[in-house]
Amino acid sequence: MTVTEARTPRGARWPTVRPWLGTAARLGLAAVWLLAGASKVDDLAASGRAVNAYQVLPYDVSTVVGAALPFVELALGVLLLLGLATRLVAGVSAALLVVFIVGISSAWARGLSIDCGCFGSGGQLAEGQAPSYLPEILRDLGFLVMAGFLLIWPRTPVSVDGWLTGDPVVEDEDE
């Protein structure tokens, strides 16, 4: 049995399936970043308040980070949608998701009652409103798995990376 056969899930041809799983991960993560950025870009002050609600950074730094974050998310989404610099973008995505997971976990551990601001304005929750930290962390862990997949196998069909290398569908067995 070859190494490739050992990695083959349930009879499927992994080298055939892998690029399309990568495409799904790339487009799914692109959609996440585009939705997250678009939901915040029209109110940068609210995005800054959401970052400040975590009580980790000084207020002035929080407002700058909050104002920049939607544009970073939109840029990541566009690059993933195009499939351009996919491994690099997946690495930046993974790092950003780890920061988000640590931030949400920190807010939870410190007893803060905030909305993460991941897909909207975020900030302090109203009195008596319960935060939903565990689902947010699990969601971001799922996104982190997608980014990790793209770190390992970044080349996918229908991508600029594939067109630039002249290899639109990659089936290398040694990747």
**pLDDT tens track for 88-100:** 999 999 999 999 9
pLDDT tens for residues 42-90? 999 999 999 999 999 999 999 999 999 999 999 999 999 999 999 999 9
- Is 8 a member of any domain? no
Residue 169 within a domain: no
pTM of the entire predicted model: 0.85
173 belongs to a structural domain: no
**Using one digit for the tens of pLDDT, what is the confidence trace for 123-149?**
888 888 888 999 999 999 999 999 999
To the nearest 10°, report the CA torsion of 132, 103, 40, 141. -70
Cα-Cα-Cα-Cα dihedral sign, residues 44, 47, 49, 54: negative
For residue 95, give its domain range. 15-164
Number of folded domains in the chain?
1
Structural domain includes residue 7 = no
